[in-house]
Amino acid sequence: MYTKTFKIPNISCGHCVKAIQNEVGELDGVTRVTADQTTKMVTVKWDAPQTWDGIKAVLQEINYPPEE
């Protein structure tokens, strides 16, 4: 199991949080997605076959790129 916590600067509302949780949560291998609109922090837990690159690609696709 992998866990990564990161910042997404353009989270501004509850809709942003839900969009991130729904889109990333649908990926194969993702077991948990939590996001906080106040801190703009997101934590994702996943197993194979998912990868961080796959998660990051989906976030970029939905216009919520993680801060590097």
The rounded percent of the chain whose pLDDT value lies above 70 is: 100
Residue 49 lies in a domain: yes
Residue 21 lies in a domain: yes
Name the domain count of the chain: 1
Whole-Å CA distances, 47 to 29, 30, 33, 40, 52: 5, 6, 13, 24, 10
Q: Which domain holds residue 43?
A: 13-61
Please check the confidence at residue 68 and state whether its pLDDT lies above 90. Answer: no
Residue 36 lies in a domain: yes
Total-model pTM = 0.93
pLDDT digit string, tens, across residues 9-33: 999 999 999 999 999 999 999 999 9
Residue 44 lies in a domain: yes
The rounded percent of the chain whose pLDDT value lies above 90 is: 99
- Predicted pLDDT of residue 55: 98
Q: What is the CATH number of the domain that holds 53?
A: 3.30.70.100
Residue 28 lies in a domain: yes
- Predicted pLDDT of residue 62: 97
Structural tokens at position 62: 């939905």
